[in-house]
């Protein structure tokens, strides 16, 4: 049986236009909302991935000798260079206004380093993804000009949702523990643990002579039985020695 040469092809034919448009994308495409949500829920890991995807495309287009994962992992040293590539692309396309690479780099580096601050100031580090939003908006504008039909990467995949749920629970536990530690709240503890914690707190707040006094350590629920008791014993011992000498 002879084949019909006029019949349509049976094989799956890729959308050539779509492939071409995705190949012409200059930088990593993602929606600002997805960028912020994924960055917060992964505790900043997505920011490394974000820089890595940008450096991969820059390497393919103009910088073949760079190491994308290295520049992404050491982002505080290379973020300005990445932002500068975005600004230079806008200059080449004659797009206004252009990305303020310097202020964004300084702001992102400062916010990223705040995780070393004491509680609760380390929470400022979670604002770092917000400083990447202006850069991503400029990137999306560039991609829309050079490849109007490219994938905008606005939808959350199944793995994205799994990461959001797991990371959101973990982030919520961090915030809950921090709030309880700062306020000394014990109402979220199980009844038996709560009663023991309250008894330990009352005992550690009493002077041997009966007069109430305030210990030098924090009376947070997580430290009341572990930190305040030893500290109270030491202070009592020093007070007794001082009284004995007099």
Average pLDDT of adjacent 10-residue blocks, the chain of 246 residues: 58 46 80 95 93 95 91 95 95 91 94 84 88 95 92 93 92 83 61 54 50 37 40 57 64
The answer to whether the beta carbons of residues 239 and 208 sit under 8 Å apart is: yes
In this structure, are 56 and 104 located in the same domain? yes
> Which residues lie below 8 Å from residue 65, measured CB to CB, with a gap of 6+?
none
Q: How many domains does the chain have?
A: 2
Query: Does residue 26 sit within a domain?
Result: yes
Q: Which domain holds residue 54?
A: 16-167
In this structure, are 141 and 82 located in the same domain? yes
In this structure, are 36 and 154 located in the same domain? yes
Query: Does residue 1 sit within a domain?
Result: no
pTM: 0.65
Domain final residue, candidates 117, 144, 167: 167
In this structure, are 80 and 148 located in the same domain? yes
Query: Does residue 27 sit within a domain?
Result: yes
**Using CA atoms in the order 115, 118, 123, 129, what is the torsion angle rounded to 10 degrees?**
-20
């Amino acid at each position: 049986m002879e084949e019909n040469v006029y019949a349509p092809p049976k094989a799956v034919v890729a959308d050539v236009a779509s492939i071409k448009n995705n190949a012409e994308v200059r930088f990593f495409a993602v929606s600002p909302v997805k960028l912020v949500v994924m960055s917060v829920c992964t505790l900043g890991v997505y920011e490394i991935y974000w820089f890595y995807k940008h450096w991969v495309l820059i390497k393919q287009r103009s910088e073949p000798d760079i190491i994308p994962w290295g520049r992404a992992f050491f982002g505080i040293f290379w973020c300005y260079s990445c932002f500068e590539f975005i600004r230079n692309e806008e200059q080449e396309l004659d797009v206004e206004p252009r990305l303020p690479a310097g202020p964004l780099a300084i702001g992102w580096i400062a916010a990223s380093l705040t995780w070393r601050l004491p509680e609760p100031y380390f929470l400022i580090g979670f604002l770092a993804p917000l400083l990447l939003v202006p850069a991503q908006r400029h990137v999306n504008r560039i991609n829309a000009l050079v490849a109007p039909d490219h994938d905008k990467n606005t939808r959350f995949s199944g793995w994205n949702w799994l990461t959001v749920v797991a990371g959101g629970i973990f982030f919520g536990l961090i915030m809950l523990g921090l709030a309880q530690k700062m306020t000394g709240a014990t109402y979220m503890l199980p009844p038996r643990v709560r009663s023991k914690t309250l008894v330990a707190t009352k005992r550690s707040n009493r002077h041997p002579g009966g007069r109430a006094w305030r210990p030098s350590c924090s009376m947070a629920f997580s430290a009341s039985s572990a930190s305040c008791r030893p500290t109270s014993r030491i202070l009592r011992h020093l007070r007794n020695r001082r009284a004995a000498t007099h």
